[in-house]
Structure formats: C-alpha cells, structure tokens
C-alpha cells in the first residue's frame, strides 16, 4: 500500500512539476526583453512615451536601456560600448531613438557604427498614408527595402589626379542575394502581392545587372509573389503621379536612400515614418529616422509617432500581431480625431497629452 | 604679264591680312582656361550654324524607338503646315544592331548640321556590357554637357501641386554614367563614378549664366556630400566657387534625399537646380511627374558646338507605340526649343502658343492626362488654333 501511495505521490509531483514547467515556459516566452536605446535630443522623451503606451497595452515587453556613445576600444578602433553590444546580441531585438551626428568627435556616425557592428543589411520602411494627417497623396501603401551595406555608399573614394575624383560603387553577389531573399520573405510573411526591383541596368550594365540577376533568382524560388523590374527614373515618375501602383520595392543603397525618403515625403515626412534594420544572426533594430531636434528637446513638444510606429513594426516582427494592431489603431485614431495633436502635425498639444490620449484609447479597447 | 601682277599683289595682301586677323582672334599662346573665357565672351556656348541654302536650316532628325517615329512625323507635319524654314535630315538608328555604325552615322550627321531632334533609343539591358547605351554614347561623343529641363505647372492640367516653376540643369557626360565597370573576382562588381573639376566648373558656370539670363534669383546644388565626401564634395566646391562670381544670385545646397522629400511636399520653394548626372535623372523625373507627366515636358541637351532636343524624361513609350494615344506635347515643345535655338523665335512662339492653348483651353487631353483624345486629334487641334499666323 505504501508503495502504491508513494508512486501516487510521485505521479502527482511529476504532474505538478510538469505543470510548473509549462507555466514557467509560457511566461518566459511571453515576456521578451528588448534593448532600448533612447538616443539624444528628443530621444529620451519619446522613448518614455513609447514605454508608457506599451505598459497601457500590457505588451509583454521588458526594456533594457543602453547607451551607445562610441568609445575607443583596444587597438584604437572606435566601437560601441561592450554592454550595449552584449545586450543586443542576447536580446536580438532593439528599439532606437535618434542619435546625434558628431561633427568633430573623431569617430564615424553612430548609425554607421551600429550598421557595421551588427551587419544590418536591410533597411525596411513601410510607408502608409496616415488618416487624419492630410498630404496631397492619399492611399499610399508601399514598403521600400533597401540594401544597407554596399552600393554607392561603400565609402571608397580616391583622388586620381588633382581635380579628378573616382567614387566606387560596389555590388557583390552575396549582398544582392541576401537582400533579394529578404525582400521576398518579407513579402510572403506580410501578405504583400508583388515585389519590384528598382535598377538602372541600361546604364550600369554590370553592377545593376548583377543585382537584377539575383532578384530574378530569388523570384524563381518564391513564385507565389509577383516580380517586376522597373527603371529608377520610371519609378520616380510614376511614384509622384500614382503611388498606389507600387507594393514592395527592393533596390541597392543609393536608390533606396532617395526613394525611401521620397516615400516618407508622400505620407508626411520623417516625423511619422517607421523604419527597421534587419541584420545577420536574427538581429533587428527598429528606429525613428528623424533628427534629434535639439531646439524642442526637453520641452514636451516632441511627436512620438515615428518611434511608436517603429515599435509597432517591432511587435509584428516578433509575432505579437494582436498588440501591434491595438497600439497602431489607437495611434491612428488619436491622430484622426484631431483633438490632441502635437505641433508638427498641426495641433498644439504636448507630447505627454498625446501619449495619455493614446494610452486611454488602448485601455478602452480592452 | 604686267596686268596680272597688278591684280596679284593686292590679292596676296588681302589674303595675308585676313589670315593674320583670324589667327589673332584665337591666340594659341593664351592658356586654355582664359582662351575658353575669351571664346565664351565673344561667342555664347552652342551658337547655331548660320542658315544656308536660301535661309533654310537643315536639322538632323533621329526618330528613335517606340513612340518616337510617330511623334517625329507629327513634328514634320506641323512644320510643313506652318511653313517653317527647316529641312529634316532623317537618320534611322536601329538599336537592335550590335554594331555601332548606325549611331556613328547619326553623330556624323549631327556634326554636319549642328542641331538635332531626337527620339529615345531603347537599350536592352539584358545584353552584355559591350553593348553600350546609344543615347549615352551620343551625349558623351558630342560632349553635350548640359541637360536643361524646365518644369512649369500648366493651367489646364490638374496636378496635386500648383505654381511649380523649376529649371533643372543636369551634368550630362560624367558622374555615374561613365560606363566604367569591371568584375574583379566573380561576384564582385565595381562601378566607377567620376567627378572632375573641369566638368563641374563648366556645368556650374552654365547654371549660373542661365539663371542670370533668365532673371532667376536662386540656384540650389543637389548633392550627397555627407556620404560621398570627395566626389560630391568636389562638385559642391566648384559650385560655391562659381557662385562667388554671381553675387546677385542666392546659392544654397541640399542633400538629394531631403530634396526629393521637399519636392513632394513643397516644390514651390525651388528655382534653379544644378546637380550631377544620376541625381539629375531622379530629380528631373520627379519634377516631370509633379507637373503632369512625361508627355508634357521637353528637354534640351547643349554642348559647346552642338544641341540636341528631345522629350525631357527620355521615354521610349514602347507599350503605347503605334496606338495613336501618345501625348505629342513634349516632342512639339522640344521642337519649339529647337526653333528658339535656331533664332527662329517668331515661329517658335507661334507654335508654342498654339500648343499651350490646346493643352490648357480646349481640354483635348490624351490618356496620360486623364482624357480620351488621340495624338492626331491633338495635332489637328493645334493646327486649327485661331490667329495661327506668324508675326514678324
């Protein structure tokens, strides 16, 4: 009888322990840690706003704040602080505010340093018209995916003779393949219908030709997504006349820089545009692309929309679609309402008032 | 014998005097840059050849591909109707041929006549790099260093932005379009972007001179010198140098991505813009889109000795070729620019007035402007415009 009783107890224990394990696992996968880099200028205020809104939405995110001011490492090379790098490598997901570009600090721009450290090869910018913030363009709904490591921004320049400068545009097979594959994966994961490669292969036959070839190869592997190719000038021409004809655009560095800013201009500027950088090894850093706005820093006048929409993009990347949808809807509803809007959107409310309005809406949605 | 001698001496004297005079005009002992300025002050860049053969000009016409041939025919039809003293020497260029004979013939014809009207030649980008873009070859061989496009809002055309008046001056021969590429190892391709001081100074000087001639007050240089510090840095430096010689014109600069953002939100802030080749491609297409599309804006390519006129956005229009739906406005306005270049201003103004009244008043729009008119209807309507007479 004692044997049966002991095995019964053991069984219960096992079941209880198993139950505990499952509970622990569930809560561990629910609460995710994200590295937060507040940045400079208005960075800290808008980061606080985003954290407040996430708390109100009960999003399972734990924030780990880090500073990325460059320090000189052993050997004299500039690098980001080791604790920031460690945190990013551990958490894999990061949210970044605007960083100050140093002019005479001796080290390169922080964005460049981050890009190199984590091999952030794809810059993704979804441009969706914001209802309530009127621009001459309505119904914009496209995504620009830009190769972020090479191309015209390789930084390789030399003065051949006095008065003749040569700047090298580098296109490699590996980088082009990587970005093309990512573009099609993104299209598939986000239910986008088509991918358009933007190029100038009529003039730059070998370089853009290589890029185009890799895009075509990736298209073969993803036959469920429609693939088209278009010249850069045709894209520019059609974009300002009818942006609704475009879906996902993939392109090398320079064209991507110009086109992504063009699309940001269509929806209202950098103050309302989200952006994400995807790196190797599953690292992804989402950021607001506007400047630090030192003139309004600390005055509670900043608009947290760009950072908030980037954070929403981050939630989608992590698979938390429910929370993403809730927060995004609350944000758009608040802007559409026109009662509480920050100065850059045409209103005269404070940043904290705008944030509180969104928090209230999020809570009401539950 | 003695009678002949009396003729010969003054004849020889006149020959010697004329040759001395012509030698003095271009003094080879002057350094090249001063010689250039000296030449420029005597003769403005791209002086048209004088009309020969009874006051009629001969102009090279390259129909091109796609909608090019039908638009070229409409130009000829309109010129014949208006009795314009221009004869066209048609040179067909087959862009599918691998040999460059056709384009070389065209270049020779342009050298002969000095002026050309051109449709776009298609470049199949799936062909190997040995097949160069015919359009680019023409521009670089003839050294047509300035591409000028004037984008203006037209009253009868509905667009999202109003009151746009931007003049875009784009360097046309170097920069990213140098076609210098090589594959170092399989899978690694380098493409060279060349920026030189001489060409940057030349285009900046052209931009400021044009701004002064047309009474413009502001020139904006478009660049990406924060990233391409040496290349675009040199371009910007040259622009600043030239700007110091034109104190009445305000000079500022803008980074290309910010420029495109500003263009789609507030294009009215721009006046004259000068930039290297690739940014010029982007900005000119954005501006053409803002004022109503590729069917409305003409473009001109000017060099020291030659001038070639075409549509501003250089489209082949393959998909609408031979459907009688293309908008002839751009090509016809380009032919007006051609007439202005030949100093036939009366004809140019007459035709331009007729075209603009058709586009703005009678509302006979083609498909690209949202209407249902055909190309031939538009051309017929232009010819039927009232008071269509030449006033000298």
A300-314 residue pLDDT tens: 889 999 999 999 999
Tell me what pLDDT residue B3 has: 54
| Nearest alpha carbon to residue B391 among B351, B356, B357 | B351
Ordered alpha helix ranges (H), B53-100:
68-81
A168 vs B237: CA distance, rounded Å: 20
pLDDT band at A343 (very low <50, low <70, confident <90, very high): confident
Nearest Cα of chain B lies from the Cα of A354 at a distance, in angstroms, of 25
Chain mean position to CA B183: 33
Q: Is the dihedral of CA B32, B33, B34, B40 positive or negative?
A: positive
Residue with tokens 């899978």: B187
The shortest CB-CB distance from B227 to any of A153, A174, A210 is to A153
Size of interface A-B (CB pairs under 8 A): 174
B72 vs B75: CA distance, rounded Å: 5
A211 vs A209: CA distance, rounded Å: 5
Tell me what pLDDT residue A338 has: 83
Q: Check A233 against B224: CB less than 8 A apart.
A: no
Nearest Cα of chain A lies from the Cα of B190 at a distance, in angstroms, of 5
What tens digit of pLDDT does each residue of A16-29 get? Answer: 554 554 444 444 45
Q: Check A206 against B281: CB less than 8 A apart.
A: no
Would you tell me which residues 252-291 of chain A have a C-beta closer than 8 angstroms to some C-beta of chain B?
254, 257-262, 264-266, 269-270
- Please state the φ and ψ torsions of residue B188, each to the nearest 5 degrees: -125, 115
Residues A272-298 have a mean pLDDT of 92
CB atoms within 10 A of CB B261: 22
Per-residue DSSP letters for B104-139? HHHHHHHHHHSEEEEPPPP--TTS-TTS--HHHHHH
CB atoms within 10 A of CB B154: 17
Give the range among A95-99, A343-347, B73-77, B302-306 with minimum mean pLDDT.
A343-347
Residues B235-252 have a mean pLDDT of 97
Give the range among A65-79, A249-263, B59-73, B316-330 with minimum mean pLDDT.
A65-79
Two tokens at A251? 């392109």
Nearest Cα of chain A lies from the Cα of B129 at a distance, in angstroms, of 6
CB of B280 within 8 A of CB of B147?
yes
What tens digit of pLDDT does each residue of A229-262 get? Answer: 999 999 999 999 999 999 999 999 999 999 999 9
Per-residue DSSP letters for B245-279? T-TTSEEEEEEHHHHHHHHHH-GGG--EEEE-HHH
Q: Check B191 against A239: CB less than 8 A apart.
A: no
A96 vs A43: CA distance, rounded Å: 8
Q: Does A152 touch chain B (CB under 8 A)?
A: yes
The CA-based dihedral angle spanning residues A281, A285, A286, A292, taken in that order and rounded to the nearest 10 degrees: -160
Total-model pTM: 0.86
Residues of B in contact with A180 (CB under 8 A): none
Q: Does A138 touch chain B (CB under 8 A)?
A: no
Residue A110 has pLDDT above 90, yes or no: no
Residue A15 has pLDDT above 70, yes or no: no
pLDDT band at B389 (very low <50, low <70, confident <90, very high): low
B89 vs B109: CA distance, rounded Å: 8
The shortest CB-CB distance from A233 to any of B189, B256, B282 is to B282
Ordered alpha helix ranges (H), chain A:
2-30, 43-56, 82-91, 110-118, 173-189, 205-221, 232-241, 253-267, 305-318, 321-337, 351-365
Q: Check B257 against A257: CB less than 8 A apart.
A: yes
Tell me what pLDDT residue A8 has: 62
């Amino acid at each position: 009888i004692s044997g049966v009783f002991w095995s019964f107890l053991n069984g219960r224990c096992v079941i209880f322990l198993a139950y505990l394990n499952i509970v622990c696992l569930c809560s561990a996968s629910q609460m995710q840690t994200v590295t937060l880099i507040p940045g400079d200028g208005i960075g800290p205020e808008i980061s606080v706003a985003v954290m407040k809104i996430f708390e109100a939405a009960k999003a399972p995110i734990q924030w780990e704040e880090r500073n990325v001011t460059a320090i000189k490492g052993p050997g004299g090379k500039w690098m980001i602080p080791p604790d920031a790098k460690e945190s990013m490598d551990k958490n894999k997901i990061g949210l970044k505010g605007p960083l100050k570009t140093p002019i005479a600090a001796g080290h390169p721009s922080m964005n460049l340093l981050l890009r190199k450290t984590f091999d952030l090869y794809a810059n993704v910018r979804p441009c969706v018209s914001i209802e309530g913030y009127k621009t001459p363009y309505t119904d914009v709904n496209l995504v620009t995916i830009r190769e972020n490591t090479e191309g015209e921004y390789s930084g390789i320049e030399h003065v051949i003779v006095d008065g003749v400068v040569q700047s090298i545009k580098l296109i490699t097979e590996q980088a082009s393949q990587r970005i093309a594959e990512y573009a099609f994966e993104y299209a598939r994961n986000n239910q986008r219908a088509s991918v358009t490669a933007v190029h100038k292969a009529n003039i730059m036959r070998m370089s853009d030709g290589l890029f185009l070839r890799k895009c075509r190869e990736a298209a073969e592997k993803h036959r469920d997504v429609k693939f088209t190719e278009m010249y850069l000038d045709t894209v520019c021409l059609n974009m300002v006349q009818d942006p609704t004809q475009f879906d996902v655009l993939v392109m090398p560095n320079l064209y991507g820089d110009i086109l992504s800013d063009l699309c940001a201009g269509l929806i209202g500027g950098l103050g309302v545009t989200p952006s994400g950088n995807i790196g190797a090894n599953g690292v992804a850093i989402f950021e607001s692309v506007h400047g630090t706005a030192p003139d309004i820093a600390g005055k509670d006048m900043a608009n947290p929309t760009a950072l908030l929409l980037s954070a929403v993009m981050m939630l989608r990347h992590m698979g938390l679609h429910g929370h993403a949808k809730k927060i995004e809807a609350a944000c758009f509803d608040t802007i559409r309402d026109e009662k509480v809007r920050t100065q850059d959107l045409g209103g005269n409310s404070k940043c904290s008032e705008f944030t509180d309005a969104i928090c209230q809406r999020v809570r009401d949605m539950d | 014998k003695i009678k002949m001698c009396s003729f010969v001496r003054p004849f020889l004297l006149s020959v010697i005097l004329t040759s001395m005079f012509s030698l003095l005009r271009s003094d080879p002992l002057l350094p090249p840059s001063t010689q250039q300025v000296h030449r420029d002050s005597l003769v403005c860049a791209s002086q048209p050849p004088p009309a020969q053969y009874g006051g009629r000009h001969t102009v090279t016409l390259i129909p091109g591909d796609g909608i090019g041939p039908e638009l070229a025919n409409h130009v000829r039809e309109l010129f014949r109707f208006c009795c314009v003293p221009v004869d066209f020497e048609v040179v067909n260029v087959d862009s599918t041929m691998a040999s460059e004979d056709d384009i070389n013939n065209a270049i020779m014809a342009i050298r002969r006549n000095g002026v050309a009207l051109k449709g776009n030649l298609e470049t199949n980008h799936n062909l190997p790099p040995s097949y160069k873009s015919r359009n680019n070859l023409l521009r670089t061989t003839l050294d047509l260093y300035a591409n000028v496009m004037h984008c203006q809002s037209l009253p009868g055309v509905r667009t999202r932005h109003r009151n746009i008046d931007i003049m875009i001056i784009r360097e046309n021969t170097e920069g990213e379009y140098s076609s210098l590429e090589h594959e170092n190892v399989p899978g690694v391709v380098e493409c060279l972007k060349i920026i030189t001081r001489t060409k940057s100074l030349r285009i900046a000087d052209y931009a400021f001179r044009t701004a002064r001639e047309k009474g413009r007050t502001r020139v904006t240089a478009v660049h990406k010198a924060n990233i391409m510090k040496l290349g675009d840095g040199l371009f910007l430096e040259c622009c600043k140098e030239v700007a110091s010689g034109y104190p009445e014109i305000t000079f500022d600069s803008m980074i290309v991505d910010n420029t495109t953002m500003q263009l789609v939100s507030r294009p009215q802030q721009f006046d004259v813009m000068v930039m290297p080749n690739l940014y010029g491609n982007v900005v000119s297409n954005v501006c053409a889109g803002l004022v109503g599309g590729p069917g409305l804006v003409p473009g001109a390519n000017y060099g020291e000795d030659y001038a070639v006129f075409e549509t501003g956005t250089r489209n082949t229009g393959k998909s609408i070729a031979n459907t009688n739906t293309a908008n002839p406005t751009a090509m016809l306005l380009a032919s007006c620019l051609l007439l202005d270049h030949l100093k036939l201003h009366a004809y140019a103004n007459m035709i331009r007035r007729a075209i603009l009244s058709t586009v703005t008043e009678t509302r006979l729009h083609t498909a690209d402007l949202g209407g249902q008119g055909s190309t031939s209807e538009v051309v017929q309507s232009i010819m039927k415009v009232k008071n269509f007479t030449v006033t000298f």
